[in-house]
Amino acid sequence: MTQALVTAIADMEDETAIRLANEMIEGGTSPLAILDACKAGMTIVGERFEKGEYFVPELILAGEMLKQISGIVKPHLTADNDTPKLGKIVLGTVTGDIHDIGKDIVHFMLEVNGFEVHDLGVDVPIDTFVAAVRADQPDVVALSGFLTLSYDAMRDTVAALNAAGLRDKIKIMIGGGTVDEQVRVFAGADAFGLDAMAAVNLAKSWTGAGVAS
Ligand code: B12
């Protein structure tokens, strides 16, 4: 059924994708396995967009499918609100970039794993990150971005935090799209992560909370 979900997303069969996600969750499939299938489907959508087989409307429909499926999956990843918070995180998609599906999953997984998350949203101006770090005094800043152009915005955001004298008080992680070690070095971040669990593990390691398995 996992492969059927990948195919339904890739082929823009939104009703089938939503039905399958519901059936999988009811049948006991792990929420993370469902999100992995979504990622595989989105990768195919991205490839078809690159080849000129799909256009922006398909990206929008893919985004809507994933938001709906996230809504189905999220209640099954229960947050324990009584647990003392492990640390504070300022999160946002960098300026010029409006992709928020991956960021929202990172937000949710950090919260489920005991972090307090201040989510600044998408297309976040550099000054807004600086102001939030000054006001919230987080342990970690998490920058999301899916566009190649976002790497410049990540670098500029890190530089602005540095210029404001805040850099040595925080750890900075980046993620989204095709970020890798090269982008991390370019942006001046402390680490990059490929998925939401990587974000959780980094945050745990930096706040002394141990690393999730
Ligand atoms: C859906 C989508 C859209 C939707 C976004 C809807 C939304 N609400 O987010 C819409 C239609 C708005 C859109 C617009 C555009 N898009 Co678009 N989009 C996509 C698509 C198909 C999927 C992205 C996605 O949500 N994936 C699903 C999530 C779950 O992905 P994920 O990577 O698994 O997420 C994990 C990690 O990224 C990680 N993570 C995320 N953030 C962070 C942060 C930290 C700190 C850490 C540690 C981890 C982390 O954790 C996540 C959860 O596990 C991608 C293709 C692709 N393969 O990614 C193109 C893609 C990103 N888009 C692309 C483009 C070109 C555009 C447009 C410029 C198109 C246009 N001509 O207008 C615009 C740009 C708008 C803007 N200014 O931002 C290109 C980018 C190319 C590039 N290298 O720059 C891509 C790669 C498509 C392609 N192959 O060409 N897009």
pTM: 0.88
Residue nearest to atom 28 of ligand 1 (CA): 102
Q: Are 173 and 143 in contact, with CB atoms under 8 Å apart? A: yes
Instruction: Output the CA 102–ligand 1 centroid distance in Å.
Output: 8
Which atom belonging to ligand 1 lies closest to the Cα atom of 103? Answer: 41
State the Cα–Cα distance between residues 55 and 140, nearest whole angstrom: 36
Residue nearest to atom 33 of ligand 1 (CA): 39
- The structure tokens 């390691």 sit at 205
Instruction: Output the CA 59–ligand 1 centroid distance in Å.
Output: 9
Which atom belonging to ligand 1 lies closest to the Cα atom of 202? Answer: 47
State the Cα–Cα distance between residues 213 and 210, nearest whole angstrom: 9
Residue nearest to atom 13 of ligand 1 (CA): 59
The two tokens of residue 140 are 């970690």
For the segment 35-43, the average pLDDT, to the nearest whole number, is 88
pLDDT digits (tens, 9 = 90+) for 48-101: 998 999 998 998 899 899 889 988 998 887 655 555 688 999 999 999 999 998
Residue nearest to atom 86 of ligand 1 (CA): 46
The pLDDT score that the predictor gives to residue 41 is 92
The pLDDT score that the predictor gives to residue 77 is 78
Specify the long-range contacts of residues 206-212, CB closer than 8 Å, at least 24 apart: 206/87, 206/139, 206/140, 206/171, 207/86, 207/87, 207/115, 207/139, 207/140, 209/86, 209/87, 209/114, 212/113
**Residue of 199, 195, 182, 190 lying closest to 161 (CA atoms):** 190
State the Cα–Cα distance between residues 69 and 62, nearest whole angstrom: 11
At residue 164, does pLDDT exceed 60? yes
Q: Which residues contact 60 (CB under 8 A, 6 or more apart)?
A: none
pLDDT digits (tens, 9 = 90+) for 172-213: 999 998 999 999 999 999 999 998 889 999 999 999 876 544
The two tokens of residue 132 are 């939030």
State the Cα–Cα distance between residues 126 and 74, nearest whole angstrom: 30
At residue 1, does pLDDT exceed 80? no
pLDDT digits (tens, 9 = 90+) for 118-159: 999 999 999 999 999 999 999 999 999 999 999 999 999 999
The pLDDT score that the predictor gives to residue 69 is 92
The two tokens of residue 59 are 């990206």
Residue nearest to atom 34 of ligand 1 (CA): 102
Report CA Rg, the chain: 17
Instruction: Output the CA 210–ligand 1 centroid distance in Å.
Output: 30
The pLDDT score that the predictor gives to residue 190 is 98
Average pLDDT value for the chain: 92
> Which 3-state string (H, E, C) describes the chain?
CHHHHHHHHHCCCHHHHHHHHHHHHHCCCCHHHHHHHHHHHHHHHHHHHHCCCCCHHHHHHHHHHHHHHHHHHHHHCCCCCCCCCCEEEEEEEECCCCCCHHHHHHHHHHHHCCEEEEECCCCECHHHHHHHHHHHCCCEEEEECCCCCHHHHHHHHHHHHHHCCCHHHCEEEEECCCCCHHHHHHHCCCEEECCHHHHHHHHHHHCCCCCCC
Around ligand 1, the residues with Cβ closer than 6 Å are 39, 42-43, 45-46, 49-50, 56, 59-60, 62-63, 66, 96-103, 105-106, 142-144, 146-148, 173-177, 193, 195-196, 198-199
